Chain A
């Protein structure tokens, strides 16, 4: 088990994870990060074209391990 830190936010505001989460391996890091991104989008996704949300994962040495992101596209079709 190792501790990973899941920073999250959008272009305007990134909140640093100061607590971290214990994960058994990269698969768990990915699952935990994805669940975080789902919650983040439920709270923070606004009806703004081009909005991007992400979760970025660091290990205990500060090395970036994984980045999950999604962006919203809104286009008028008529």
Chain B
């Protein structure tokens, strides 16, 4: 199911969830009801891990594509962390990387032109999906709506289409249905002002 809220702002969950399949977005709404997607989460990510320490959710987590998730009880996670400091450290590291991704997201949406912004977000998605073995080469099935891309980038749907068209025209991507193929990965990274440092991958997928 798409646009299904797994966790809502104000909730006090006793679980955190791990993404098994699909794409999840953290989302916030303005007072006028406009949605901003503030980050993507792919398979292997634990989007609301911070809920383990912050009792009230300050954003929503919604499915952006059909997705499968697994829930983990907070009390079970706490006792695992107490018994295995290395797991606690890995969880800590994971939330620090989430914060790095949010910092990059703010820079992208706030300061980059629409064309660069679009290229950047495609690079990030492809990199993150590659690093967890979800895609081979640089062909990603991203069945995300243009409206959701617009909400992620702070762009109108019409401009999202225009930017995708421009990236195609430049020979950087090819799209068939929801499948995005980075035809010129080096060119797409340049266009997107994309440097993988902020993802802190142990074996950077390139």
Contact = CB atoms under 8 A, between A and B. Distances in A.
Nearest to A23: B157
A26 interface: no
Interface string A5-39: 01010000001111111000000000011011011
B166 A21 contact: no
Contact of A17 (B115, B155, B158, B169): B158
B110 to A, nearest CB: 13
B202 to A, nearest CB: 37
Contacts of A15: 162, 165-166, 169
B115 A55 contact: no
A35 B166 CA distance: 18
Contacts of A39: 114, 155-156, 158-159
B164 A19 contact: yes
Interface residues of A, number: 19
B158 A33 contact: yes
A74 to B, nearest CB: 22
B157 A21 contact: yes
B161 A32 contact: no
Given A16-B165, A17-B165, A21-B146, A6 B158 contact: yes
B162 A8 contact: yes
Contact of A55 (B114, B155, B158): B158
Nearest to B159: A39
Q: Which of B115, B146, B162, B164 has the most CB of A within 10 A?
A: B162
Nearest to B164: A19
B147 to A, nearest CB: 8
29 contacts: A6-B158, A15-B162, A16-B165, A17-B158, A17-B162, A17-B165, A18-B161, A18-B165, A19-B165, A21-B157, A21-B161, A32-B157, A33-B158, A35-B156, A35-B157, A35-B158, A36-B156, A36-B157, A36-B158, A36-B159, A36-B162, A38-B156, A39-B156, A39-B158, A40-B162, A43-B113, A43-B115, A43-B159, A55-B158
